[in-house]
Structure 1
Amino acid sequence: MGRRFLITGTAAQVGKTTVGCALGFAMRARGMRVGVMKPVDTLESQDAQSLALAVGSNMPMELICPYRSSSTSAPAPDLSHISRCFDEIAAQNDVVLVEAASTIDFADLATTLNLEVIVIVGNRPGCLDATTLALQRCESRGIKVAGCILCDCDPATEISEVPLKKLLGDFYLGRMRHREPLPKPIVEKLGTVLIRPEN
Structure 2
Amino acid sequence: MGKAIFMTGTGTEIGKTVVTSIVALALERLGMSVSVFKPVQTGLAEDGVSFAEQYWYERVAKIPTSEGMYYMEPAMSPHLAAALTGTSIEPERIAERLEQLKQRYDVVLVEGAGGLAVPWCERGGRWYMTCDFVRDYELPVILVSLSGLGAIHHAVTTATYAETQGVRVLGLVFNQFDEREVIHRNNIETITAMLKLPAFATVPPFSAVTREELEAFAGQWIERKEAAALWEVLAVEV
CA contact 1:30–1:195 (8 Å) conserved in 2: yes
**C-alpha deviation, 1:166, in angstroms:** 2.6
Name which one, 1 or 2, has greater alpha-carbon Rg: 2
* AA aligned opposite 2:34: V
Q: In the alignment, what sits opposite 1:69?
A: 72
Structure 2: how far apart are the matches of 1:17 and 1:133?
21
User: 3-state SS of the aligned residue for 1:139?
Assistant: helix
Q: Which moved more, 1:123-132 or 1:182-191?
A: 182-191
Partner of 2:28: 28
8 Å Cα contact 2:27/2:34 also seen in 1:
yes
Structure 1 stretches of at least 4 aligned residues deviating more than 4 Å after TM superposition: 52-56
Aligned to 1:90: 102
Q: 1:48 aligns with which of 47, 50, 54?
A: 54
* 1:177 correspondence with 2:217: no
Q: What secondary structure is seen at the aligned counterpart in 1 of 2:202?
A: strand
Which amino acid in 2 is paired with 1:137?
Answer: Y
Alpha carbons 2:142, 2:172 under 8 Å: kept = yes
Equivalence map 1:72-151=2 (5 Å): 72-73=84-85, 75-102=87-114, 103-104=119-120, 105-151=129-175
How far did residue 49 of structure 1 move?
A: 4.4
Q: Give the share of equivalent positions with the same residue, in percent.
A: 22
CA distance, structure 2, for counterparts of residue 161 and residue 21 of structure 1? 24
The answer to whether structure 1 residue 191 and structure 2 residue 231 are counterparts is yes
Unaligned runs of 5+ in 1: none
* TM-score, normalised by the number of residues in structure 1: 0.81
Looking at both structures, which has the greater relative contact order when contacts are Cα pairs under 8 Å and sequence separation is at least 6?
Answer: 1
Distance 1:100 1:153, change over 3 A: farther
1:166 corresponds to which of 186, 190, 214: 190
Offset at residue 187 of structure 1 (A) = 4.6
1:152 pairs with one of 166, 170, 176: 176
Deviates more, 1:163-172 or 1:27-36: 163-172
| TM-score scaled by length of structure 2 | 0.69
| Change in CA separation of 1:92 and 1:165 when aligned onto 2, cut-off 3 Å | same
The SS at the match of 1:191 is helix
Q: Is the 8 A contact 2:36 2:65 kept in 1?
A: no
Residue 205 of structure 2 aligns to a residue whose secondary structure is coil
Question: Does the CA-based 8 Å contact 2:3-2:102 persist in structure 1?
Answer: no
Q: CA 1:69 to 1:10, structure 2 compared with 1: closer, same or farther past 3 Å?
A: same
SS at match of 2:85: coil
- Give unpaired runs (5+ residues) of structure 2: 45-50, 75-83, 121-128, 207-212
